[in-house]
Structure 1
């Protein structure tokens, strides 16, 4: 008899059994999940043991959010409920980007571009990403050539200094790649890119490059679930220690990445529901942001003075503080976030806050604004999908119609 844990994708497991198996795989205790869902551990135990009937759609979607279930059918056991939540459908350019990452071209004589030429192309790529509504299409088209040329630049470097410079650029290309790959159905590719970016950044010896690679690597750890939160903190803290001696006279980019890393510690703490630690790190990040010029905007992390309001909304939402997230959203709307994808992400976080605060109509309005800013962002965002699906079936006809129209608009439901 096999001692392996049952697979929640295989019938005829009950809903409660699926919840327990997926919870344990995520490394969450029953108390942690119950706290997220707003029920008692005793109630959750009864659900898992099958002593209480399966909950309604709203609770099912909250469970899916808490456990980061990628396919709703894995939780319900019903093939007809196949909905990708925390992973997108796969962009048409994903295969080409994957091929470029996997093809190290060790034995191919690719002529490397001049360093200044690659720098200019990378700068233009970041600018295009922030300006574009369909940012994955824009950068997905550019990435295969950027990856190939950055690798060639490192391989054919004429001096140690040129090689270090090339490694910093290669790390930045991998950072751009991670933005494209995130929330798509290829977790192993995301990890390859994140880890290669960290190696290239360390080989470059460039503090800013190391900070950016650490920022993205820590996010990969955190998004892998509660068992990886400590690993995310280890990466963030190591990068902050590296940058700390530079901060008294640091250039804006170094100060900004240090601030972004500080906020990441707060973000992870908020995922743990550690209220004091989360806001303490947010305060430290805000102090760094206040040292930046008013119109400064970090090209990778979007860190700036304007972003701190959006970060406050995220902390409040992750702490499940509905009222506080709404108050922070009102403050944050006074600032303009220059990046369309980041602006859309902020609208989604606002929608989560209004949903927590029992204002579903405002939540849908925020998601409509997210779709206006960057449909490519909302299309791949599991939190947005959960809210839309939850509001497709309410009693209020007007809200149901708006949610359904939005679901069709982003491809969540067929027209």
Structure 2
């Protein structure tokens, strides 16, 4: 039988190594985990043993590693807690790895027709209801037809088709996010950037850089690489029309989020100010039709930044003033409600946290169902706090298929 003292010491060492690799300080980890710096120190020195499964999974998410990297030779089915598998995942995987090379005689769709179909898909993605499921129903044919058109068309028509193809990959990347398929998320991000470069379109490159920033941030890759990509893409853009301004502002927001994730508050708010300036230039009513950049989204992401900077009080001040009606996307509104719940959770206000998660569920069920914070928080909320909170958390966990 293994020595429990040795096991605790080995876990402490692995936890310390994982934090060092992530580049996060103990106070930052403590805030993200909802614990104190002394608790993190106690974990890393072996003063306390391995935490329970929900907290273990939360630490793994914070460090950007597999839970098995923390617990060593033991294995656990982390996916059931952290990432739910959508029923259409195998279909989308097949669509991404299938090439219809025998369709050479089929006439390609024009870039205009493809763009109209993609606009419809974006409307489904940002709309209320089962947005992932509805978008997944369109993706296989969209992927195949966009690939076919980008191969068969020539000249300016081909470049336009490639820019549209990049958007199709963005949709696939969003569908794949928060699911146990990191290699496919990276694949779609890389293909979108390749299509954008082949299209020789600064606007398409800017959109691809925005989505690649999300991939890199979730993987805890170096902030410097994320910032460099965003700034290179931003330098290609002209800012003499709404499209250029919106995409430039979006990239400034990407940099702000990257710096907030690693605790560099000064840099984070400096870039957020630039994004905010772009939103103000566009006017209070502007929102990009599929990137959703505008004043509403800039204000809402300030909430996420304060959360990542471990300032839940300031995050809740933002939330109190936030007008989610200014965010024309049910999926984004649901996400920002979850972020508000995260801020309340950091202050151990379980009643408000559960109530906001319920509201996020009503706004967009499949957004909260595949949200990692939700799947980590609900097991603890279902076992602690007032009985009413536990009951509501248990019901919501059941609706989402989260084991408690």
User: TM-score normalized by structure 1?
Assistant: 0.87
Q: Say yes or no: does 1:310 pair with 2:300.
A: yes
Correspondent of 2:228 among 211, 220, 234: 234
Structure 2 residue aligned with 1:104, among 99, 105, 109?
A: 99
1:334 and 1:164 mapped to 2: Cα distance? 36
The answer to whether residue 118 in structure 2 is matched with residue 122 in structure 1 is yes
8 Å CA contact 1:218–1:231 kept in 2: the answer is no
CA distance in 1, matches of 2:400, 2:72: 23
Kindly state the Cα deviation for residue 309 of structure 1 after the two structures are TM-superposed: 2.1
The partner residue of 2:16 within 16, 20, 44 is 20
* 2:348 partner SS: coil
**1:171-320 mapped onto 2 (5 Å cutoff):** 171-225=166-220, 227-243=221-237, 246-247=238-239, 249-250=240-241, 252-320=242-310
Q: Following superposition of structure 1 onto structure 2, how do residues 76-95 of structure 1 map, counting pairs within 5 Å?
A: 82=78, 84-86=80-82, 88-95=83-90
Q: Which moved more, 1:312-321 or 1:333-342?
A: 333-342
Q: Give the Å deviation of 1:218.
A: 1.6
Aligned to 1:343: 333
Q: How far did residue 29 of structure 1 move? A: 6.0
User: Is the partner of 2:282 in helix, strand or coil?
Assistant: coil
Shift of residue 16 of structure 1?
2.8
CA contact (8 A) 2:93 2:184 kept: yes
**Structure 2 Cα separation of the partners of residues 389 and 73 of structure 1:** 22
Structure 2 distance, partners of 1:58, 1:118, is 44
Q: How many residues align?
A: 396
Query: What CA distance in whole angstroms lies between the structure 1 residues aligned with 2:67 and 2:357?
Result: 21
Post-superposition shift, 1:125? 0.7
Cα 1:231/1:149, change in 2 over 3 Å:
same
Displacement of 1:364 in angstroms is: 0.9
CA contact (8 A) 1:30 1:45 kept: yes
How far apart in 1 are the matches of 2:173 and 2:315?
28
Structure 1 residues 215, 409: closer, same or farther in 2, change over 3 A?
same
Matches for 1:148-163 after TM superposition, within 5 Å:
148-157=144-153, 159-163=154-158
Is contact 2:28-2:310 (8 Å) kept? Answer: no
Query: Over residues 178-221 of structure 1, what are the superposed CA-to-partner deviations in whole Å (9 max), with x where a residue is unaligned?
Result: 11111111111111110111011011122211110111112111
SS at match of 2:266: helix
* Correspondence for 1:4: none
Q: Would the alpha carbon gap of residues 128 and 335 (structure 1) be closer, same or farther in structure 2, given more than 3 Å must change?
A: closer
1:332 paired with 2:322, answer: yes
Q: Which runs of 4+ in 1 moved over 3 A?
A: 11-15, 20-40, 42-46, 53-62, 68-86, 333-336
Query: 8 Å contact 2:15–2:70 — kept in the other structure?
Result: no
Q: What residue number does 2:397 align with?
A: 407
Moved more, 201-210 or 28-37: 28-37
SS of 1:133 mapped into structure 2 = coil
RMSD: 2.7
Rate the CA distance shift 1:368–1:75 in 2: closer, same or farther, 3 A: farther
Partner Cα distance (2:224, 2:14) in 1 = 26
1:61/1:390 contact within 8 Å kept:
no
Aligned: 1:393 with 2:383: yes
Shift in alpha-carbon separation, 1:92–1:328, aligned structure 2, 3 A: same
Task: Name the residue aligned to 2:135.
Answer: 139
Point out the more displaced range, 48-57 or 326-335.
Answer: 48-57
What is the Cα deviation at residue 274 of structure 1?
A: 1.2
Q: Deviations over 1:27-48 (max 9, x none)?
A: 55667645655544x7534423
> 8 Å contact 2:296–2:323 — kept in the other structure?
no
| Compared CA separation, residues 73 and 141, structure 1 to 2 (3 A) | farther
Residue 360 in structure 1 maps to residue 350 in structure 2: yes
Q: Determine the structure 1 residue equivalent to 2:3.
A: none
Query: Does the Cα contact within 8 Å between 1:71 and 1:84 map onto a contact in 2?
Result: no
1:335 deviation in Å? Answer: 4.1
